Amino acid sequence: MFKFRRYHLKMIIIEAIFTILLVLMFQYIMGQRIYYDISQEPVKSDDTRTINGDSTYIQEMACEKDFLQGITVLAYSDTGEDGKLFVQIYDDKGEQLAEASQRIAEEGYTAILFDETIEGCREKNLKVVFRTDAMNQIILQGSEEDNVCVQFIYRMLDVRKYKLLVYLIGGILWIILSFFLVLLQLKTQKQEYIFLFLYFILGIMYMVIIPISATPDEGAHFMRIYGISEGAFVAECDVEKGTAGSELPDHLLQGFKSDKMKLPDLIEGKDLLLSKDKKFVSYSASALYSPFTYTAQVIGVTIGKIITNKVFLIAYCGRIAAWLVVGCILFLSIKYIPFGKNILMAISLLPMNMHESISLAGDSFTFAVTSAFISYVFYQRERKKESIFGWKDYAVLYILLFYVASCKIVYVPLCILAVLIPAERFGDRKKYIKVIIISVLEVILTSGIWMYISMNILNGSLGGKSQEQIVYVLENPLRYVAVVVNTTITYAEGFVKGMIGASLGWFSVSINFGIIAMIFINFVYICVQENNDCHDEKRGGKCGILMFASMSVVILIYTSLYVQWTELGSNIIHGIQGRYFIPILLPFILSMKYGKRTLGNSDYRKNDFMVSYLILLITNIFTLVSLLTYFII
C-alpha cells in the first residue's frame, strides 16, 4: 500500500513553489511586448516629411504576405498635441483597400490598424497615402531609401487569448512532466534514463516551436548537407566572386527566411518542391566544415529525398536524424562515464544545447562526439582494468578519435585524453606505445588533410587573407596574447550567457535574465554536489592533462576566429560564440573534480538531485515559452 512520507510532502511543496514561479514568470514574459508580425524595419535617416491639412504623402510598398492588418509609422505631431493621422491603402489599379486613422503625439512608431484584414496582397505593390486634418501638422521620419519609416503589420495576435493559451499549455505540461519526472526518479536513479526522458520530451517541443532556418546559418548548413548528399564532399571555390559552394537545385532556399522565419511561414512553404534545374550556389559560412560533421544530417536528408521532393520535409528529416543520433550518443555517454553523470546531463540539457540539437548545424553532434570520447576514456580507465582491449574496444577508440579530429579542428587537442587509458589495458607497454603512435598518426592525418583542404577553400574565398593573419600572429606573439586577453575580458560574461542560451534563434530571442541565473545557479550546484566514485593518488598529472586539453581548445577557437573573420591588427577577436565552448565544459570541470577524495558517504543519497532535475525541466519550459512567443507569428 502507498505510504505518504515526508519526502512526498517535500516534493509537493517544491512543485507548488515552482508552479507559482511558473505563473509569475509567464506573466512577466508575456507582458513584455505586443505580438505583431511586421515587415522589415527601414534604416532611418535625418530626413523628414511634413504633412498638414493641405498636403498628403504617398509611398509605394511591396507586400510580402497574403494578409495585411495595418501599418506602423515613425511620426510625431509638430504642434505638441495629439494629431490625427489618416491612412489609406490602394492597390496598383487605384482601388482603395482599407482606411484607418490614429492619434499621434510623441515621436516613435505608432500602430494603425484597419477595421478589416486585407487579403490576397502577397507580392503586390500597394500605395500608402498619409494625410491629416486642417488643424494639425505631422512629421514623418525619413529612411535611407528616400521614403518614410513605415512597416506593414501582417498579423496581430490577441494577447489576452494567447496568454490564456500559454498558461494552460505551460501549466499542464509542467504538472504532467514534473509528475512523471518525480515518478521516474523514484523508480530508478540511473541518470541516463532521466536524461532520455527530458531530452526526448523537450527536444520534440524545441523541434515544433523553432521553425526550419530559424537557427544561425541553418540555410547555409542545409545547402552544405544537401551538397554532401549529392557527392560534393568538398565545396568548390569561386575565386573571382570570393566564395565557395556547389551545384544545387535552383531556389533550394526559397522558403527559408533566416531571422525572419516564423511558424506560419512553414504552412506557406509546405508545398515548395525541389527544382530539377541546378546552379552554383554559395554557402561560404558552412563550406569549411568537414562532411563528417554532418554525418547524421546527411543520412536524414538522403532518406528525405527518397520519400519526398518537398524542401521543408527533406530539411526536417535532416533535423530529426541529427536530434536522434545526438540523443543516442549522449545517452550512452552518460551511461558509461563512471563519474560526472549529472554534470554531463546538465550540460546536455542547457537551452543552448537543446536549441542546437534540433538544428541542422553540427555543433550539437560535435559536442556529443567529444562527450562520448571523454566518457569512453574514463570508462576504460576506471571500470575495465581487469580486462584487455578487444577488437570492439579498438574500433570504438579509433572511430571516436576520427570524429573528434574531423568534426571541428579546434577540438583536436581533446584527443590527447587518450593517454589517460592505462597501459595495462592494452596488455603490455609495447602495445600501448603502438596504439598511441597509431592514434597520433590517425589524428594528424584526419585533421591535417581537412585543414589543408579548408585552408585552400578559405584562401580562395577570402583572397589569401587567412595567410596574412597567420603570419601576423607568428610575427607578433605578444601582441596576439594581448588581443586574447582583451577579448576575454570584454566578452567573458557574454560567453557564459551564450553557453547557457541567453540569446537563441538568430540571437533575436532574448531569454529573461532570471531564467539564465536560475540555470547557472543550478548548474553550479550540480557540479559542486556531484560525488566522485574514484580516488586517484596521482590525480595531479591527469587533471593537468584535462586542463591542458581544454585550454588548448580555447586558444584554437580564438585563433581560428581571428584568422577567418577578424580584421588584420584588430585588438578584439570577432565571431566567437559562447556555444563554441560547450564541448570543453565537461573536461574543464572534471579537471577540478577528478580523483578527489569525497568527504562522507560516497554513495548518492536517494533523490539528491531531484530538485535539480525539476529545475532543468522548468527552465527549459520557460525558454520554450519565450521562443514560442517569438516564433508564433
**pLDDT, tens only, 605-615:** 445 688 889 99
Task: Collapse the DSSP code of 48 into the 3-class scheme (helix H, G, I; strand E, B; otherwise coil) and give the result.
Answer: strand
Is the pLDDT reported for residue 284 higher than 90? Answer: no
Give CA 4 to chain center in angstroms.
Answer: 43
One-letter-per-residue 3-state SS of 328-350? HHHHHHHHHCCCCHHHHHHHHCC
- What DSSP character marks residue 358? T
Cα separation, 65 vs 582, in Å, equals 39
Is residue 68 within 8 A of residue 153, CB to CB? The reply is yes
Q: Quick one: pLDDT at residue 611? A: 85
Kindly tell me if the per-residue pLDDT of 462 is higher than 60: no
**Predicted TM-score of the model (pTM):** 0.83
Residues contacting 194, CB < 8 A, separation 6+: 181, 184, 185, 188, 345, 613
pLDDT of residue 422: 85
- What's the chain's average pLDDT? 84
Residue 372 binned pLDDT confidence (cut-offs 50, 70, 90): very high
pLDDT at 461 over 60: no
Q: Which range, 144-153, 388-397, 464-473, 492-501, has the best average confidence (pLDDT)?
A: 492-501
Q: Are 84 and 103 in contact (CB under 8 A)?
A: yes
Task: State percent of the chain over pLDDT 90.
Answer: 35
Q: pLDDT tens digits, residue range 441-452? A: 999 999 888 888
Give the highest mean pLDDT range of 153-157, 162-166, 609-613.
609-613
Checking if the pLDDT of 358 tops 90, the result is: yes
Pick from 1-5, 151-155, 273-277, 563-567: least confident: 1-5
CA distance 134 to 130: 13
3-class DSSP state for residue 564? helix
Q: Are 354 and 624 in contact (CB under 8 A)?
A: no
Residue 253's closest CA among 276, 219, 283, 221?
219
Q: Reply yes or no on whether the pLDDT at 28 is more than 60.
A: yes
pLDDT at 299: 96
> Residue 169 has what pLDDT?
80
Please say if the pLDDT value at position 581 is more than 90. Answer: yes
pLDDT for the residue numbered 89: 93
d(CA 233, CA 237): 13
Residue 295 has pLDDT above 70, yes or no: yes
Residues 6+ apart with CB under 8 A from 81: 105, 136
Mean pLDDT score, 622-626: 87
Average pLDDT of the segment spanning 212-241: 87
Task: Pick the more confident residue, 285 or 350.
Answer: 350
Of 20-24, 37-41, 405-409, 556-560, the one with minimum mean pLDDT is 20-24
What b/e sequence results for 524-550 when a residue is b if at least 16 CB atoms lie within 10 Å of its CB, and e otherwise?
ebbbeebbbebebeebeebbebbeebb
Least confident of 2-6, 45-49, 192-196, 559-563: 2-6
Closest C-alpha to 277, from 311, 251, 244, 307: 251
Element (H, E) at 17: helix 6-30
Q: Is 80 exceeded by the pLDDT of residue 456?
A: no
pLDDT (average), residues 454-465? 61
Whether the per-residue pLDDT at 403 is higher than 70: the answer is yes
Q: Looking at residue 273, what is its pLDDT?
A: 87
pLDDT band at 600 (very low <50, low <70, confident <90, very high): very low
Q: What is the pLDDT of residue 429?
A: 83
β-strands 125-132, 108-119 pairing? unpaired
Confidence of residue 2 (pLDDT cuts 50, 70, 90): very low
C-alpha cell at 228: 554532401
Cell numbers given for 100: 484607418
Closest among 558, 403, 550 to 487, alpha carbons compared: 558
188, pLDDT greater than 60: yes
Count of CA atoms in the C-beta half-sphere (13 A) of 224: 25
* Among 1-5, 577-581, 590-594, the least confident range: 1-5
What pLDDT is stored for residue 599 in this prediction? Answer: 44
Mean pLDDT of 274-278: 87
